[in-house]
Structure 1
Amino acid sequence: MSRWRWFLLQYMRKLWVRATLIGVLGIAGAGLAALADRIVPPHLVFEIGVDAIDSLLSIIASSMLAVTTFSLSVMTAAFWTASANITPRATRLLAEDRLTQNVLSVFVGSFLFSIVGLVVLKAGAYSAQGRVVLFTITVAVLAMIVMSLMRWIDHLTRFGRVGETLERLEEATRSAFEARLKEPCFGGRPLINTENGLPSDTMAVTSPETGYVTHFSMEELACAVADSGGKVYLAVMPGRFVYRDTVLAWVHFRTPPGADTDRSAVSAAVRDAFTLETYRSFDEDPGYGISVLGEIAQRALSPAVNDPGTAIDVIGRMARLLTLWAEGARSRPDDEIAYPDIYVPPLETAELFAGAFEAIARDGAKMIEVQLKLRETLRSLGRLGDESFRSAARHQAELALKRAGAALVLDEEMRRLEMIRIGD
């Protein structure tokens, strides 16, 4: 994904962008009615009283301001509830909820439309044709408000609840996995071994600041070394926290030092291709979704909450996501590689398993129902994918069994766990 598409995607998820666009549309609708005499033929006009339109616009203006304020308070309460009872990392997905943003934008746009319409109507700027057009638009706006209210009421019954938030997280993580399955190395070649697989005369490009890598532009990386015919070996992936001296990538030049290639310019171009932010993003970082799901399970297993059912639910969602990754992963033939001069580390399966199950196995070590579900899941996953995938499942199963052995009191419970054999 190019940088401009990435930033456009991020901005389109912001509430103020949608509200501004629909607000401008509402103002334009009220202004368009003032020009109706140039568009609408007089014989199509029927008589509309000013008082009728004035009453409708006044009702919309007074009610939409109150409804918008109430909706914002409900949304804020949902964010607080998610932060306190689920995990603060989930509030970003709630804030990017399309239905919530669309409904609030409709309310704001309707309010602006009614205010502008009232001002222009009181000023006497609408002709007979203009009043007809304004009345038609007002009726359409009222219908849109009613539909938005119905959808909003239904949405509020689920918004911010644990189950609904888990659905959002699973869907966001699934989308990230599907994107990586489509482009396992973002269109580049896989970089398997960074210790022994790099040329000896590579130049390290370090991070200019501290933060999380959320995106890098393959197009910009390819352009940076296109003239020199060099190669780029990436050292970090989205989700990695980097410091000012952390290596982002290594660049190998085919031309010897002192040639016409401006190595400092290439280094700056490679550095600029990376986007660093304060927080991780779900888009290109499936490991983040896995870790946030694990956080929810951790909180559910805490003594203050004591909700093993939610932890078991999370384990099932982890199983679905990792099964998707195991069954869909495949290597790309050379003719399908879009950026052959860029080498990208593949997604580490062992890290995914650690983020998914280590904390659950630790905090749920005393709960036999959680341990049984976890071991059954790892047994199933241990039969899928390649050898690295199966090995990661076996490793987590061994760790979970050791933790359970140190925490469970009854020998009968340990025997139940040991009866679930991994690898059979």
Structure 2
Amino acid sequence: MLMGRFQWVWRQLRRSLWYRATLFSLGGVVTALVAWLVTPWLDVPSVVSIGARAVDSILNIIASSMLAVTTFSLGAMVTAYGSATSNVSPRANLLLIEDRVTQNTLATFIGAFLFSLVGIIALAAGIYDEDGRTLLFAATLVVIVMMVYQLIKWAGYLTRLGRVRDTIDKVETAARKALEGRMDQPYLGGQAMPATVPEGLEPVRAGKVGYLQHIDMPLLDSLAEDLGHAIYVQALPGTFLDMTRVLASTPTLDDARAEKIAEAFTISPSRRFEEDPRFGIIVLAEVASRALSPGINDPGTAIDVIGCGVRVLTPWVRHAEGGIDESDQPVRHVYVEALQTKDLFEDFFTPIARDGAATVEVGIRLQKALSALGAIGDNRVKRLVDEHRERLINRFDIGLTLEEDRQRVKAARRA
């Protein structure tokens, strides 16, 4: 989906932990107060109000238990982040922080705690009559059901949170979604960059140091219409920018319009997965490289990651073979470079081949991965596969000590 800057910022906001926790907390407070506000319009049967006398003790139990469970859960999250940093990649922590199950669970616990706290205070202040206590009791039962559901779900989820396999799955999913988004909009919703860009274009420079996270394509299209000229984007999300790096260029430009064009580019100190497919591929390769380091020495994980890479790249390679449909791109006056398959191959295969050059099993699996992609790709992909095979064989000829192992890697090329 084509997103403007406001929509993009709003999506990032909704993925933060404090956003969900705040919503659930407000929900808990409002629920406790609604029981007091609506009682004048309710007529609760006396038989229903019998259990309401126990609401004080129930709320006290919820308050004390939810405080303890929330504290424990936060500790478990910090431990999971540390495990992912040590065993997978520090870049993968962003996916754990934005994990919806974790956020919903913590938000439920915090909301239940505040609900019980407000209920206890309101009961102590004597603002509830008998009908109000009954309604508060009913709301408490609903909160208990939510708590039990989240506790059971959380208990199972904690057994895999931060584990290597679970974190790899999250990185793979993020990389796959980013590539799928780029397949839907290969030029970010704009038009393909022409083979020959007009001369004499005025550049718009970044003016900041950081990574490009998002481009507001609707804003650029609107500015291009006002200018009466096309805008040529010269940096994709994920590009590292310095003060002099050119973001875009257009034939005629003044300082005010250059500033507006620059505002369409969101620059941050770090990269994100959503609109940066190369970042997901890079993090997958980092996981494999870390697994192959002498301190960890886990070639099995590296081999698993190679399989993940093939799954992620297969739809992209098949899509590239079938060509790119440019007819339905919504932005008509902005031209953008396409993501290059050679960059994806370089980001993934080169680091793993470099760090796994002394492990014959890794070499064999890399050869099979390249064969799988070459079998479904077009001639450009086949040339890329041949280039990486040559490099791979050269690296493993140096890294492997036994001639027999070298021959096994070479034989895998023909398998």
Q: Which residue of 2 aligns with 1:70?
A: 72
Q: Secondary structure at the match of 1:248?
A: strand
Structure 2 residue 204 is the aligned partner of structure 1 residue 202:
no
Deviation at 1:38, TM superposition (A): 3.1
Residue segments in structure 1 that go unaligned for 5+ positions in a row: 254-261
Establish whether residue 30 from structure 1 lines up as the match of residue 32 from structure 2. yes
2:410 alignment partner, one of 394, 412, 418? 418
Say yes or no: does 1:312 pair with 2:303: yes
Checking the alignment, whether the CA contact within 8 Å between 1:45 and 1:128 is kept in structure 2 is no
The residue that corresponds to 2:224 in the other structure is 225
Deviations 1:319-376 (A, max 9, x none): 1111111112355555412112111100011111011011111111111111001011
Secondary structure of the equivalent of 1:339? coil
Cα distance change on mapping 1:63 and 1:378 into 2, 3 Å: same
What is the Cα-based RMSD across aligned positions, in Å? 1.6
Structure 1 residues 145-164: aligned runs within 5 Å? 145-164=147-166
Give 1:343's aligned residue. 335
- Give the structure 1 partner of residue 242 of structure 2: 243
Find the aligned partners of 2:324 and 2:351 in 1 and give their Cα distance: 34
The answer for the alignment partner of 1:386 in structure 2 is 378
Q: CA deviation at 1:45?
A: 7.2
Structure-2-length-normalised TM-score: 0.96
The alignment of Structure 1 onto Structure 2 pairs a total of residues equal to 412
CA contact (8 A) 1:45 1:132 kept: no
1:58 aligns with 2:60: yes
- Find the counterpart in structure 2 of residue 212 from structure 1: 211
CA apart distance, 1:43: 5.0
The answer as to whether partners of 1:379 and 1:420 remain within 8 angstroms in 2 is no
Q: Is the 8 A contact 1:87 1:295 kept in 2?
A: yes
Deviates more, 1:34-43 or 1:8-17: 34-43
CA distance in 2, matches of 1:200, 1:13: 42
Equivalent position of 1:3 in the other structure: 5
Runs of 4+, deviation exceeding 6 Å: none
Shift, 1:418, TM fit? 2.2
* 1:369 alignment partner in structure 2: 361
- Write the deviation string for residues 254-281 of structure 1: whole angstroms up to 9, x where unpaired: xxxxxxxx62222111100000011100
- Measured after TM superposition, the shift of residue 85 of structure 1 is 1.7
Compute the displacement of 1:129 (Å).
1.9
Q: AA paired with 1:369?
A: E
The Cα offsets for residues 271-302 of structure 1, whole Å up to 9 and x where unpaired, read as 00000011100000111011001111001111
Match of 1:256 in 2: none
1:406 aligns with 2:392: no
For residues 36-55 of structure 1, what are the structure 2 equivalents within 5 Å?
A: 36-43=38-45, 46-48=48-50, 51-55=53-57
- Report SS of the residue matched to 2:197: coil
State the SS of the aligned residue for 2:27: helix
- What is the deviation of 1:154? 0.1
Give the 3-state SS of the residue equivalent to 1:244 in structure 2: coil
SS for the counterpart of 2:162 is coil
Q: Which of the residues 248, 252, 266 maps onto 1:275?
A: 266
> For 1:276 and 1:317, how far apart are their aligned partners in 2?
29
Residue in 1 aligned with 2:88? 86
**What do residues 75-114 of structure 1 show as CA deviations (whole Å, max 9, x unaligned)?**
0011111111211111111111100110000010001000
Larger deviation, residues 321-330 vs 135-144: 321-330
326-335 vs 283-292, which deviates more? 326-335
- In structure 1, the residue matched to 2:287 is 296
SS in 2 for 1:164: helix
Q: Among the aligned pairs, what percent are the same residue?
A: 41
Which among 107, 115, 118 is matched to residue 116 of structure 1?
Answer: 118
Cα pair 2:212 2:237 within 8 Å, conserved: yes
**Which residue of structure 2 aligns with residue 259 of structure 1?**
none
Change (3 A) 1:276 1:408: same
